[in-house]
Structure 1
């Protein structure tokens, strides 16, 4: 390889900002810049983050910089193009959206592999030029991510032979348009759709390689119909009334389900409909029905994550899950509620310190790690924790986090913990008394037992 080719290759591996800087001091690198393969335009890469106070200044500087950079670039050799404007452009700047067309037409050429256009939801009237996906582009494009725009593909786009990943967020696209686009994406492996409110029925044709599907809060969605046969990872946040037709659900190994009463749904429906799950995550901020005891079992589940809300939920009912596992290795429980602890309708262990309920033991010889986030002095949560400790001889690590699991400060730096309400901190203090009183005496000496408490430096005022 010639020396010039080596330098060109080194230049192509540099982040865009560094590549642009060296192009300013060397004619050779300036020539390389015209073919730089990775163009990423964000606040950070353009040096605008935190430097400009007024929205008009941000918009003007962002436009000027991107224009200047792209005019120096030939548009040849671009592999990655990312344009993330965030809130630089607002609803008043419709005339400036015309810049997007010219920028995309410079950069999106045959040979491009990754294309990301991320606008704010205020820019949702911008129409992505679907003509860019025709001709030679469709033979090379592997990743397409669109955020905050209109996307109306037609049959003229043809087949995108190389597209393996697609992400749509706050995108206006109709059912038939999306179905047509997917039908021409033969190699698609991952599909993510978020907050796309125009979709009523998501129809996924037979895509032999599609293994990952994520659909998050498309509020008008009524049904998902999939003909794919290899779906192994499904992540869905939406109403239980949404009809799911996912083909052979025995192939699904990993499921994340967010909806009201998700724990009830998971315990009563999933063992029969998705019997081969290995990883299960369920999230419900309004769990109003206690989890019932049923005989059905998960035969292969190893990792269980439960995120729950609901002011009067009886945590002991989660024992129903433990009765249906043979190979569970890790259990993660997180309690989240929009209601402050002082307003919850639950019995606290210190308000009713009578004998804890006796729960039939289902001995576990595989469970090794248990994490409980937002551990509190709720009597039913203490009872559940005691049951887990007493029935799990294989336990190696137990962590009770009395905070909300939010980022914590590093004590040797100036960062601060994420703010917590005084009421939440006070409940954490009660939990710190409950854990050593009722739980620690039952923990075997071989178990690593951790209790995480609110940071005294950042939450000192609330602790007083």
Structure 2
């Protein structure tokens, strides 16, 4: 009976299954139709996969690289809407996949401009915060394109704008400053321009939120720059490079937040007057020495002074400039030559920890310069930890210590308690340079590493380089041998055991060091 009962139960279940399946299928179809009716009434389209909020999709899209974001927009309606409201656009040959391999440069430039034009004209003009136009590979860009692209960005309330045009061509494009007064003057915070004419006017509040200003190969006058700076109370960084109309840069005291100031290769620049109280990094470089005056330079921590043609930069920095930047911690000095030895002065640099000095002589450093006078910096810097001295010359005119039987000079003893690393590149057999080295060894109890490179740092052996090392003139090879002989004779014997001595010279495989 139990077996018959189970058999009848299985038969009833089989007869009931098709009917139940039809009911389940009908319910599922009805549910899907009801969902479609709901979508049709709301105007939205059903999304496959996860149904996430719109802002989540936009955030995901914003994290994609530009090329992947564009490809996603081609296959997804959701990402297409996000693409038309893209917040950050970096448009260059690299981001657009135009590497130029096997492509004519003019053809690549036309392709780049065409792609940029299509992207910007299809942008909705909503939500754009950053636009970077890297068109440096285009020899010339039709101004009509720039005049049509920039209004799209400014209407969107852009905050960061970078427009890099070719540095080969002259600055011809007049940047439309009037766009800055069309509602975006309250949002522009980062402006980087190159190879254009920039004529800011004295409009109220036009730069009051600007934080960073980068100008490269830009035509702007002294008065225009001063007008711009006087309205930029929130400015934190100012970069001027090859701005050849500027003669005098005046930094007003209103720039309380300005911490970085750099001016380089501005051909006509003669003077920089800064009254900004909180500049921590100051860089100046060019062909000529520029008059520098600080009204509030106590906060300068990092300073770089470079000059390509005018000599005595080391002397000027030590005597005229350093007394006004007593709190400097990192100092780079580069001079084309020195005619005057560095004097010893009472001023102290109690915070200087890193000192890098480069002497770049066209042929030879003037024999009138006494290398031993650099002790002036060491004595004035009790916290100095690293000293790097680079001499670049192709002819040594100083008196060589090789064969000289006169006594070596010794300065009064002074203990450099914190100096740990000393590097001399371009070490030669000049008597005053050896005297400087000996002074450091004998007066630096904290010294850990001494590196002496007689090959100017560029003639070392390179196994992987085709053709071997760079060629060296015969007289340079002979001087390198004299420098090595001076090290063996006067330096190696007095090196304490705690100090690691590193000596390098020309490659013995590629350069035969001839003896006198």
Shared fold (TM-score, shorter chain, > 0.5): yes
Per-residue deviation, 1:51: 1.8
For residues 319-354 of structure 1, the C-alpha deviation after alignment (integer angstroms, 9 at most, x for no partner) is: 2222222221221222234xx2xx332334446476
Aligned to 1:166: 213
- Counterparts of 1:305-384 in structure 2, within 5 Å, are 305-310=356-361, 311-312=365-366, 313-337=369-393, 340=394, 343-350=395-402, 352=404, 356-384=408-436
The answer as to whether partners of 1:81 and 1:108 remain within 8 angstroms in 2 is: no
Secondary structure in 2 matching 1:345:
coil
Are 1:82 and 2:129 counterparts? Answer: no
1:170 is paired with a residue whose SS is strand
What's the CA shift for 1:193?
Answer: 1.0
Q: Does 1:267 align with 2:318?
A: yes
2:421·2:447 contact (CA, 8 Å) conserved in 1?
yes
Q: Is residue 437 of structure 2 the alignment partner of residue 385 of structure 1?
A: yes
How far the C-alpha of 1:318 sits from its partner, in A, is 0.9
Residue number in structure 2 paired with 1:295: 346
Indicate if the aligned counterparts of 1:296 and 1:324 stay in contact, CA closer than 8 A: yes
On the 8 A contact 2:100/2:108 being kept in 1, the answer is no
TM-score (norm 2): 0.78
For residues 189-224 of structure 1, give each alpha carbon's deviation from its aligned partner in whole angstroms, at most 9, with x where no partner exists: 111111211112222222121122112232222332
- Measured on the aligned residues, the alpha-carbon RMSD in Å equals 3.2
CA contact (8 A) 1:263 1:287 kept: yes
Shift in Å, 1:263 = 1.1
Kindly indicate whether structure 1 or structure 2 has the higher relative contact order, using CA contacts under 8 Å at least 6 residues apart: 1
The answer as to whether partners of 1:348 and 1:378 remain within 8 angstroms in 2 is yes
Partner of 1:149: 196
Matched, 1:44 2:94: yes
Question: CA contact under 8 A between 1:80 and 1:114: conserved in structure 2?
Answer: yes
Q: TM-score, normalised by structure 1?
A: 0.86
Distance 1:400 1:241, change over 3 A: closer
1:281-292 matches, within 5 Å, as 281-292=332-343
Change (3 A) 1:428 1:114: farther
How many residues of Structure 1 are paired with residues of Structure 2 in the alignment?
451
Confirm or deny that 1:212 pairs with 2:260: yes
CA apart distance, 1:439: 2.6
- Determine the C-alpha separation between the residues in 2 that align with 1:333 and 1:295: 23
Structure 1: distance between partners of 2:148 and 2:461: 45
Whole-Å Cα distance in 2 between the matches of residues 24 and 428 of structure 1? 64
Alpha carbons of 1:6 and 1:203: their partners in 2 closer, same or farther (altered >3 Å)?
same
1:73 aligns with 2:123: yes
CA-to-aligned-CA distance 1:128-180 (integer Å, 9 cap, x gap): 11123224322222221111111001123733232111111111001111111
Q: Which digits, 9 at most, give the CA deviation of each residue in 1:377-431, with x for residues without a partner?
A: 44433332222122111112223344545699997xx677997442398365665
Query: What SS does structure 1 have at the residue aligned with 2:380?
Result: coil
Is contact 1:108-1:132 (8 Å) kept? yes
**Aligned position for 1:114:** 160
Secondary structure, counterpart of 2:174 in structure 1: coil
Specify whether residues 71 and 280 from structure 1 end up closer, same or farther in structure 2 by C-alpha distance, changes over 3 A only. Answer: same
The answer to whether the 8 A contact 1:130-1:152 is kept is yes
Match of residue 296, structure 2, among 224, 228, 248 = 248
Residue 232 (str. 1) matches residue 283 (str. 2)? no
Residue-by-residue CA offset, 1:60-79 (whole Å, 9 max, x unaligned):
12212222332343333223
Report the secondary structure of 1:62's partner residue.
helix
| 1:175 aligns to 2:208 (yes or no) | no
User: Distance in 1 between the 2:287 and 2:399 partners?
Assistant: 30
